[in-house]
Amino acid sequence: SPGEGSSGEGVEVAKELPASIFNQEDWVAEFLSVVRPILMASLTIAANSHSETFSLGPFNPDMTDVQRWISDRVAFWTTKVNQETAQLLLAEINEAQQLGEGIKAIQARVEKVFNFSESFRTERIARTEIIASSNAGHLAVYRQSGVVQEKMWFATNDERTRETHLEAHRQVVA
């Protein structure tokens, strides 16, 4: 570790984050215990709501496609988000090393990554996951009903909507 004012120009300090900074196994275990039940509840609530509204029959959350969707989402978040966060942290630590910054400056950089995540990413992630799990619940109950054969895409026309989603608006798909 560099001291205050030491120079590490041109040296990449780390290729991986030490477990004391970012322990992926701990994070995965936490995610599984907290988020998996939330996704399952959101999916089930949405499926049951559509089942009741459209008289589609009972929803079975234990079906393979439902469990696979939950497992795929959990796997996505426990790898992709962790990798992205680790890359952000590594970039900050390596830049601090190259500039010869000390512990206090590196700590501020690490806090910047996590503060950004808390203030911006957390809301986006929550919104995305609840909408995704609700949509998965709707699709699952449609499939289980054997009644619904097609769906029509609807996009929200606002500043957050992707262009590709606007293009898909009102398209009918199996």
Q: What is the pLDDT of residue 171?
A: 95
Residues in the chain: 174
Which has the higher per-residue pLDDT, 37 or 12? 37
The span from the CA of 146 to the CA of 60, in Å, is: 13
Q: What is the Cα–Cα distance from 29 to 32, expressed in whole angstroms?
A: 5
- Whole-number Å distance between alpha carbons of 15 and 12: 8
Report the C-alpha gap between 135 and 129 in whole angstroms: 10
C-alpha neighbours within 13 Å on the C-beta side of residue 64: 0
- The amino acid occupying position 140 is A
Give the three-state DSSP class for 21: coil
pLDDT cut 90: percent of the chain above it: 43
Contact 78, 28 (CB under 8 A): yes
Q: What percent of the chain has pLDDT over 70?
A: 83
In the 8-state DSSP scheme, what is residue 137?
Answer: H
Q: Can you tell me the distance from the alpha carbon of 166 to that of 174, in angstroms, rounded to the nearest whole number? A: 19
pLDDT tens-digit readout, 47-100: 999 999 999 999 999 999 999 999 899 888 878 877 888 888 889 989 998 999
The per-residue pLDDT for 64 is 94
pLDDT of residue 123: 79
Q: Please state, in angstroms and as integers, the Cα–Cα distance from residue 143 to each residue in 11, 21, 52, 147, following that order.
A: 55, 44, 15, 8
Query: Which tens digit of pLDDT belongs to each residue from 35-45?
Result: 889 999 999 99
Query: Which residue type occupies 127?
Result: R
Band of residue 145 on the pLDDT scale cut at 50, 70, 90: very high
